[in-house]
Amino acid sequence: MSTPPPSVSEATTTTTIDNSEFNPVTEGSATILFPKAEDVFYNPIQQFNRDLSTLSIRAWSEIYGEQLIKKRKHDQDEPDNQRPYISILEALSATGLRAVRYAKEIPRVQRVVANDFLAEAVKSIERNAKYNGVENIVVPNKGDANAYMHQSKADGKLFNVIDLDPYGTASPFIDAAIQSVSNDGLLLVTCTDLAVLAGGGYPEKCFALYGGSPLINHDAAHEAALRLVLGMISNSAAKYKKTIEPLMCLSIDFYVRLFIRVKTSPAEVKELGSKMSTQYMCSGCGAIQDQPLGKVTVRENGTKKFGLAQAPQNLGPLCSYCGFVNHVAGPMYNGKLHNKDFISKVLELNKDASDEIYKTRKRIEGMLTLAQNELDDAQFYFKPERVSSIIKCQVPPLKVLIAGLGNLGYDASLTHAIPSAIKTNAPWGEIWGLLKEYVKQRCPEHKMDKLSETTAGYRILTNENVKCEKEVSFELNEMSAKVEKLRKLKITRYQENPQKNWGPKAKPQ
């Protein structure tokens, strides 16, 4: 059973402070004193991030905590299995709000180190820890985050949980964090630089920070952003004989948030090449072909052989469907983005959570329900509006396209990242074949003279090699019914504008 977090009524204040200098802000079970001078960074829109992070650390502790407790009891001979044991580092803490919430809302937390480089931030952390009565758990620290993590590793003081929530990219902090997190520990990573990860203006910066190029001007750019960050983290971990397991990786508003289990496994490190791939993306029709960088073959006796991946067949500089130029994206992580059991645990805790503390609980339910129902053996997605605009036909209903894919023998789902998009394991040749058949069967008014002969849509519709391997039927089926049922659930899926000018705040001076 889930252990409930401490209630708000259990909070005690131990320090009387002149409130005239501060604006009290209550979030979750914490009340922080936010300086009126605004010399410490605080963004109220990130409550969703903090609510979700608190629940996710609790889920991690309930799934993997028993293993850590057994190791700790063996190492330290502690008979009391209710004794606090979780150590957390919030490497870039600012006001200390997140650290205070972790201390008050996550059972069995022994220590939360709240680090920041700014002296004013450290004063704020200390003040808020005392004000909330958790100064025995929250430890303020002034210092460079990387230097602190490296020193902690050198001292043998690893953290069970490390939370990286910087302004911009987390890339400079990953190497130190990977070394400082304990085996089977949880790494939480935020990157708010989606203009770099998912935009088209900074491909050189994306490659410098993340070791790969983005999917420019593609519907699935935000999923590619998640995979670029995972690829960068995977490469950092491999240097230290560590691997990562993505537990839950989400594209949220103006940032990505990843929850990753880190473990030491030299054997699994050998599989990294097969979990990384480049993508060949057509600049005309958006078709993508995945190219793994490594190959794993399982022998009859169960052992594995590692080698080079085979180059893609019939793939040149031009798209085989429309003849436009193929661009190369990646390399990036090509494995699963979520652990469905982990998401189930977070949803379970969220269901029992208090609306008073977790005010974004409804949106957590909506986004995680979508993430849990995503295909986990397929990469990327497309929007029906986008593909129909290329061939100049009316937009097919989502359920009709999904039914068509299902009747061809493929799987399809929604995605948490953007509304009304289809994720499928069907190759793009089948997707375009399906669209051509839709025009033939359902769009008798469609006229080719709407299309110039130089457009991608005209070339697809006149390309005799673009066709489905099986007979196409758009009759609704079990898969389309499942997706429609999910779409009709009364859940909050995506962020509504909560206030004027919401989004990333200015970096504190």
Per-residue pLDDT tens digits for 154-180: 999 999 999 999 999 999 999 999 999
In angstroms, the CA 3 to CA 86 distance is 14
Per-residue pLDDT tens digits for 106-125: 999 999 999 999 999 999 99
pLDDT at 222 over 70: yes
What is the percent of the chain where pLDDT is above 90? 80
Per-residue pLDDT tens digits for 383-406: 999 999 999 999 999 999 999 999
Per-residue pLDDT tens digits for 466-494: 999 999 999 999 999 999 999 988 777 65
- DSSP track, 138-177: EEEEES-HHHHHHHHHHTT--EEEEEE--SS--HHHHHHH
pLDDT given at position 2: 45
Q: Check: CB of residue 334 under 8 Å from CB of residue 227.
A: yes
What's the gap between Cα 504 and its chain centre? 17
pTM: 0.92
In angstroms, the CA 225 to CA 367 distance is 18
CA proximity to 132, closest of 24, 218, 15 = 15
pLDDT given at position 67: 78
Under 8 Å CB-to-CB from 454, ≥6 apart: which residues?
A: none
Peptide bond into 317 cis (omega under 30): no
pLDDT given at position 82: 73
Q: What is the distance between the terminal CA atoms of the chain, rounded to a whole angstrom? A: 45
pLDDT given at position 491: 73
pLDDT given at position 42: 62
State the Cα angle at 163 between 161 and 169, rounded to 5°. Answer: 145
Residue with tokens 């990843």: 258
pLDDT given at position 480: 96
Element spanning 292, H or E: strand 288-292
Neighbours of 27 (CB within 10 A): 19
pLDDT given at position 266: 96
Q: Check: CB of residue 113 under 8 Å from CB of residue 102.
A: no
Under 8 Å CB-to-CB from 482, ≥6 apart: which residues?
A: none
Residues shown for the chain: 509
Mode of pairing for the β-strands spanning 304-308 and 159-164: unpaired
In angstroms, the CA 282 to CA 322 distance is 8
pLDDT given at position 12: 39
pLDDT given at position 396: 96
Q: What is the mean pLDDT of residues 252-270?
A: 96
Domains of the chain: 22-373 (3.40.50.150), 382-488 (no CATH)
- DSSP track, 88-143: EEESS-TTSHHHHHHHHHSTTEEEEEEEES-HHHHHHHHHHHHHTT-TTTEEEEES
- What phi, psi does 410 have (nearest 5°)? -105, 165
In angstroms, the CA 422 to CA 406 distance is 12
State the Cα angle at 485 between 479 and 489, rounded to 5°. Answer: 150
In angstroms, the CA 6 to CA 13 distance is 15
Q: What is the mean pLDDT of residues 243-258?
A: 97
Neighbours of 497 (CB within 10 A): 9
State the Cα angle at 146 between 142 and 147, rounded to 5°. Answer: 65
Which pLDDT band, with edges at 50, 70 and 90, does 509 fall under? very low
Q: Which of 232-246, 297-311, 484-498 has the highest mean pLDDT?
A: 232-246
Q: Check: CB of residue 391 under 8 Å from CB of residue 461.
A: yes
Helices (H) and strands (E) in the chain, counts: 16, 17
Least confident of 57-61, 236-240, 284-288, 491-495: 491-495
The whole-chain average pLDDT of the chain stands at 90
Per-residue pLDDT tens digits for 278-295: 999 999 999 999 999 999
Q: Check: CB of residue 323 under 8 Å from CB of residue 282.
A: no
pLDDT at 4 over 70: no
Q: What is the mean pLDDT of residues 88-92?
A: 98
pLDDT given at position 114: 98
Under 8 Å CB-to-CB from 375, ≥6 apart: which residues?
A: 411, 412, 413, 423, 424, 425
Which pLDDT band, with edges at 50, 70 and 90, does 39 fall under? low
pLDDT given at position 184: 96
What is the percent of the chain where pLDDT is above 70? 89
Q: In 77-96, which residue ranges form alpha helices assigned H by DSSP?
A: none
